[in-house]
Amino acid sequence: MSSSFFEDDGNWFDEPFGSEESEPSASDAPSLSAPEGVTVVVVDADGATQAEIVNQLGGNIATFGSLPELAARLTGAPVVAVLGPSISDDASLSAASHMLQTHHELGTILIAQELSTSLLQLALRSGVKDVLAAPIDNLQLLEAVDRVGSSLAPVPTTNHTVGSDELYDEFGSSGETGQVITVFSTKGGAGKSMLASNLGVVLAQRSDRPVALVDADLQFGDIAVMLKLAPAHTLVDAVANADRLDEPMLRSLLTTHEPSGLLVMPAPLEPAFADQIGAAEMIQIIEGLRRFCSHVIIDTPAYFNDVVLGMIEMSDDVLLIAGMDIPNIKNVKIGLQTLRLLNTPMEKIRLVLNRANSKVKLDVSEVERTLQVSADSLLPSDVVVPQSINKGIPVVHASPRSGVARALEELANDFISVEGNRKRK
Ligand SMILES: Nc1ncnc2c1ncn2[C@@H]1O[C@H](COP(=O)(O)OP(=O)(O)OP(=O)(O)O)[C@@H](O)[C@H]1O
Ligand SMILES: [Mg+2]
């Protein structure tokens, strides 16, 4: 591809980066290999920082002092913008978010001076595809550019149409329907996302078929951040393609957690997009996934809504997670009553008590008596959990020998048998 993505005024870099005609890299560092037709640019208010990043990318790259400057030059061709540290304030990220909503051809990578969880969350929710902490090494940056550049390739289309069983059978790998497991709690912060992500990772490693994790906490989903993913697509894209959700389409929309192979369908990047997704669409997506996955795990928000009810209804198992404090137990009790009122079969509900260890003053048997359900699993409280979350590494990987990781592995065992079939207690 030889055309410029900019309106050509002669001053700008006018070849997509990676084309044969590009200037050779000035350094010995590995050279940039953005996918064909994708242009790489640098945005930062500070000229010296711009130059430093350009040097790290090792090429002839256009630079901009601000996002509006870049916006004025976009023409629809794919662009990866490396945003320097001056773009990490709230106002700039909000501007980035607006730009990314209208310019689907743009993919962004943010270099942060100091990487905090809140900045990572804000950046990813603004639609930034990857966040790197300064000082960055060249390879890390080049890999990020390559990854984001590849994600700008258009979603592959198939000729297949809607939900026909024959089509699903054509693409389904084994014909065996996967097990759907919803992780739910009526209390915020109970540990749903921690449990869902670790369970997904363990099952993905043990299963001989794909395992998917769907973030149905549509407004404030954390799964992508917890697994340090830079998703190219989210549930919003799945809903947009709802009329052709066969295996190839779903696979093209899922983001792989490379260390485990877990396939993740992240929540929308903007809370506002949650409105576009209803229970019917979610059920369609989960039905599509269970046709080729051995397990589909669903993380949820801390309240009942139509999506959560739909997910619970279609699930084989519901992991109801409760923290070991009185407000948690009170809310979970109300949640259980609601589930009973909704005629949810109690056999599919499994109680997981989180932060259950000797330092907590509540007695497990007392909690079980109050809830009238016995606990399937006890997860101890451990500082390695928040530590691992802050690193974006699931605790089963970050601290595999910890008590909490072992308890999570054991819980996952209940969903795996030698044949890959469901195993129930
Ligand atoms: N066993 C544990 N030991 C120590 N900390 C824990 C444990 N389980 C969860 N946490 C901490 O509790 C916090 C909330 O966990 P998590 O985000 O998984 O909860 P959640 O139920 O998904 O919350 P939300 O309702 O906001 O989605 C995290 O900071 C996590 O580190
Ligand atoms: Mg959560």
Listed by start position, the domains of the chain span 39-151, 165-413
* Highest averaged pLDDT of the listed ranges 28-32, 220-224, 355-359: 220-224
For ligand 1, whether the C-beta of 87 sits within 6 Å is no
Ligand 1, pocket-test mutation among 385, 393, 395, 408, most atoms within 8 A of CB: 385
In tens, the pLDDT along 132-168 reads 888 888 888 888 888 788 777 554 433 333 333 333 3
Residue 202 to residue 371: CA distance in whole angstroms: 28
Identify the CA nearest to 323 among candidates 192, 190, 186: 190
Domains 39-151 and 165-413 share a fold: yes
CATH of 39-151, one of 2.40.50.100, 3.40.50.2300, 2.60.120.10, 1.10.10.10: 3.40.50.2300
Residue 101 to residue 94: CA distance in whole angstroms: 11
pLDDT at residue 334, rounded to an integer: 87
Ligand 1, pocket-test mutation among 117, 194, 198, 388, most atoms within 8 A of CB: 194
Instruction: Please name the residue whose Cα sits nearest to atom 15 of ligand 1.
Output: 191
Angle at alpha carbon of residue 179, lines to 176 and 184, rounded to 5°: 165
Instruction: Please name the residue whose Cα sits nearest to atom 31 of ligand 1.
Output: 386
For ligand 1, whether the C-beta of 378 sits within 6 Å is no
Q: Which CATH architecture group holds 165-413?
A: 3-Layer(aba) Sandwich (3.40)
β-bridge pairing 211-215 and 295-299:
parallel
- pTM of the predicted protein model: 0.64
Handedness of CA 261, 205, 348, 289 (dihedral sign): positive
Q: Residue 404 CA: which ligand 1 atom is closest?
A: 1
Tokens representing 6?
């900019």
For ligand 1, whether the C-beta of 226 sits within 6 Å is no
Instruction: Please name the residue whose Cα sits nearest to atom 13 of ligand 1.
Output: 189
**Phi-psi domain of 15 (left: phi exceeds 0; alpha: psi -120 through 50; beta: other):** beta
For ligand 1, whether the C-beta of 216 sits within 6 Å is no
pLDDT at residue 339, rounded to an integer: 86
For ligand 1, whether the C-beta of 1 sits within 6 Å is no
Residue 51 to residue 45: CA distance in whole angstroms: 11
Residue 300, phi then psi, degrees to nearest 5: -130, 165
Residue 280 to residue 71: CA distance in whole angstroms: 36
In tens, the pLDDT along 309-368 reads 899 999 999 999 999 888 889 889 988 988 887 788 999 999 999 998 756 677 888 889
Handedness of CA 163, 165, 170, 174 (dihedral sign): positive
For ligand 1, whether the C-beta of 129 sits within 6 Å is no
Residue 366 to residue 375: CA distance in whole angstroms: 11
Q: What residue ranges in 203-348 does DSSP mark as E strands?
A: 211-215, 255-257, 262-265, 295-299, 317-323
